[in-house]
Amino acid sequence: MSTLLPLTPRIFVPADLVPTAVLHLGVLAHVDAGKTTLTEQLLHHAGVVDRPGRVDHGDTVTDADDIERRRGITIRAAVVSFELHRADGGSVAVNLLDTPGHADFVAEVERSLGVLDAAILVISAVEGVQPQTRMLIRALERLGLPFLVVVNKIDRAGARGLELLAELDAAMTGRTIALTAPAALGSRDAHPAPRTGDQLLADIADAVEDHEPGIVRAFLEEREVDLTAVTAAVGRQTAAGRLHPVLHTAALTGVGIAELVDAVVTYLPAVSPAAGGLLRARAFRVGRDGSGHRLVHVRVDSGCVQARDRLTVHHHDRWGGRGVLEEQVTGSAVLEGSRLRDGPVHAGQIGVLRGLVRAAVGDGLGVLEPGEAAWHFPPPGLEAVIRPADPARRADLHRALLELADADPLIDVRIDEGESEIAVSLYGEVQREVLGTRLAEEFGIDTEFLPTRVVHVERPAAAGEARRDSASGNAQVGLLLEPAAPGSGARYVMGVERGNLLPAFHTAVEATVHQQLRRGLQGWRVVDCVVTLVHGRFHAATPSAGEFRRLAAEALRAALRQAGTMLCAPWSRIEVRMPEAALPGALALLVDMGGTPAEITAANGGATLLADLATERIDLYERRVPDLTSGLGTFLAEPAGYAPVG
């Protein structure tokens, strides 16, 4: 029996048409909050595993990567499928993603959120709301994802109970409502006690008063309150992101898991998939099987995909550029539990597709809904030169890095042509350590990293146009380079009739344009531009595709020289929380470093500073925070794009 409010199923189409509702659910947390342990308990409760794995034992289902097991952190989002039963006899098919918790892998979290319907946010009852927690809350709110909050580790010494709600409310725009209260807090006997009666109803009425006037009116007039209606109201406000139910667990021993499952099927918005219609799917992970074959993990929202299908891929690169590709599926498998079974992938399911050569994380497959955009997260603003311990393995290192970058579009590998060095983009030290370990264990390549340095980009300063003809006059290419909006990437447009050139010539020109944009006039990638093929012709004797590549390269370099480029450096958005007395010093240091305050708030003796700061100065500022705040401050930074230098 549920210990929560009575269950009111909230299915968006009649249950007799589609018998099983689907919920794509994520589990998010700051490091060491017990996220993976909680996930294992959910899988045990659902019957996926006979016993829950433990991070310290290295036998968890979702942390399948050996490196993840040893480090005790989740690096890449893992997926498991299972079924939960509702009180009305129906069921919810859950596709559960266990996402990364470390700040260095925040981009992986952002991509994982793109395939979710809802989330469980886990915080530690001891540490409470951490900087990474606030980052996750902002990401959830930015995407409009409903989420429950689980206060875990209530059995640990120093655990706090309902007083954590004030910290949570301060970190989010929505309201929290505790459905359980921890009893025997901080002891081995700790457990969640269900909150019932007038106090719970009063808290709910207060939290939903602006949007559920009927519930509030009945409570204030001391009339009998329909608990089923209250449950439905909590569900509606949770789905709208205005309310976040809070539960308490001791996940290591499984305490509170049953109550959490009740809350998941009661309050989070499961949907019924569109079984028919055109294919609409999203790629959210790229990996490889034991034979090295490329595997693209997809969520299918409508239609079906299977072997031999030809797909339209709405592709984008890590710099925001977009294009449309055609790809052939050579094999497909559907996720059942933690295993894959060969066969078609239907709406509502998670599957794996083979044969897709260019489809990347975040790409849409099939049709896009009106207004649906590709995922884009600012790439890292830092990079490090990486060298093999054995110089003879430089080519092997480059190939290995390209394979890893294929799985993670936020790893950018480039050759510094001036110094003939291999450089790789990075978010932080943990990511660098993990990358080095993977290169050693998966590819047998020992490496060393040089100190990190700032990644610049170039933007066109104006428009430029150039045309180049072959010596014999049988091939002609004209390109127009124009500036575009910041953050829009680099886009190629075919501005001539397709019949003017053979398909191989079009492919050669487009590929050359993107290759040439990797190194601008000042040695950095050219972004935020549109390159249009404004002239393209060929005559007998038919030229080669190589000739069109040469002409396109020459025309683009000439157009770049005519336009000129602006050098741009990465900036980050920082958040510093501190005692109010520390605010003047934090502001003064920010201004000295060339930063710009964006928002300052102060309340109850504390202050929060939001500001923009050059990425190259982030490390120095962060190192000063403990001194500025007497050790009481917290610091958080996220990539925020690029700005012109000087």
Buried/exposed 581-619: b ≥16 CB within 10 Å, e otherwise = ebbeebbebbeebebeeeeeeeeeebbbbebbbbbbbbe
Hey, what CATH class is 20-267 in? Answer: alpha beta
In the chain, CATH 3.30.230.10 covers 458-563
The predicted pLDDT at position 19 comes to 35
* CATH architecture of the domain with range 458-563: 2-Layer Sandwich (3.30)
CA torsion angle 584 586 588 590 (round to 10): -150
For the cut 60, the answer to whether the pLDDT of residue 5 exceeds it is no
Task: State the pLDDT at residue 461.
Answer: 96
pLDDT computed for residue 290 by the predictor: 75
- Going by pLDDT thresholds of 50, 70 and 90, the confidence category of residue 72 is very low
| Residue range(s) occupied by CATH 3.30.70.240 in the chain | 568-644
Whole-number pLDDT of residue 624: 92
**Is 90 exceeded by the pLDDT of residue 70?**
no
Q: Average pLDDT, whole number, for the chain?
A: 83
Tell me which of 322-336, 362-376, 399-413 is least confident: 362-376
Per-residue model confidence (pLDDT) at position 430: 66
> Which residues fall within 8 angstroms of residue 551, CB to CB, at 6 or more apart?
468, 469, 470, 475, 476, 477
Do the beta carbons of residue 293 and residue 331 sit within 8 Å? no
Question: What band does 257 get if pLDDT is binned at 50, 70 and 90?
Answer: very high
Which carries the bigger pLDDT value, residue 477 or residue 339?
477
> Between residues 427 and 74, which one has the greater pLDDT?
427
pLDDT higher for 6 or 453? 453
Residue 89: per-residue pLDDT: 72
Kind of pairing between the strands at 490-494 and 606-614: unpaired
Statement: residue 191 has pLDDT above 80 = yes
Q: What is the mean pLDDT of the segment spanning 57-72?
A: 46
Kindly state the average pLDDT of the residues 462-489: 93
pLDDT of amino acid 374: 54
CA dist 185 and 190 (Å) reads 5
Q: What residue spans in the chain does CATH classification 3.30.70.870 cover?
A: 382-451
Q: Which residues contact 168 (CB under 8 A, 6 or more apart)?
A: 123, 129, 149, 176, 244, 246
Note the pLDDT of residue 10.
29
Residues 341-368 have pLDDT tens digits of 899 999 888 888 999 998 887 788 998 7
Residue 556 has pLDDT above 90, yes or no: yes
Query: What pLDDT is recorded for position 18?
Result: 34
Asked if pLDDT for residue 595 goes beyond 60, the answer is: yes
**Residue 65 C-beta-side C-alpha neighbours within 13 Å:** 21
Q: Residues 345, 329: contact at Cβ < 8 Å?
A: no
Domain 382-451 has CATH 3.30.2080.10: no
**Run of H or E including 406:** helix 394-407
| Domain span(s) for CATH 3.40.50.300 in the chain | 20-267
Return the CATH fold of 568-644. Answer: Alpha-Beta Plaits (3.30.70)
Q: Tell me what pLDDT residue 101 has.
A: 43
Q: What is the pLDDT of residue 62?
A: 53
pLDDT of residue 111: 61
Question: pLDDT above 90 covers what percent of the chain?
Answer: 39
What is the structure's pLDDT at 76? Answer: 42
Distance CA 4, CA 246 (A): 11
pLDDT of residue 109: 57
From first CA to last CA, the distance across the chain in angstroms is 65
Residues 376, 523: Cα–Cα separation, whole Å: 24
Residue 614's pLDDT is 93
- Helical pair 429-443 and 394-407, crossing angle rounded to 10 deg: 120
Looking at 14-28, 83-97, 204-218, 478-492, which range is the least confident one?
A: 14-28
Which CATH number is 280-366 given?
2.40.30.10
- Encode pLDDT of 270-315 as tens digits: 888 777 789 999 888 888 777 778 888 898 988 999 999 999 998 8
- Amino acid 222: pLDDT: 67
Q: Where are the beta strands (DSSP E) in 159-207?
A: 175-178, 180-183, 191-194
The residue-averaged pLDDT of 635-643 equals 84
Query: Between 265 and 10, whose confidence is greater?
Result: 265
63 has pLDDT over 50:
no
pLDDT band at residue 31 using 50, 70 and 90 as cut-offs: confident
What is the gyration radius of the CA atoms in the chain, in angstroms? 27
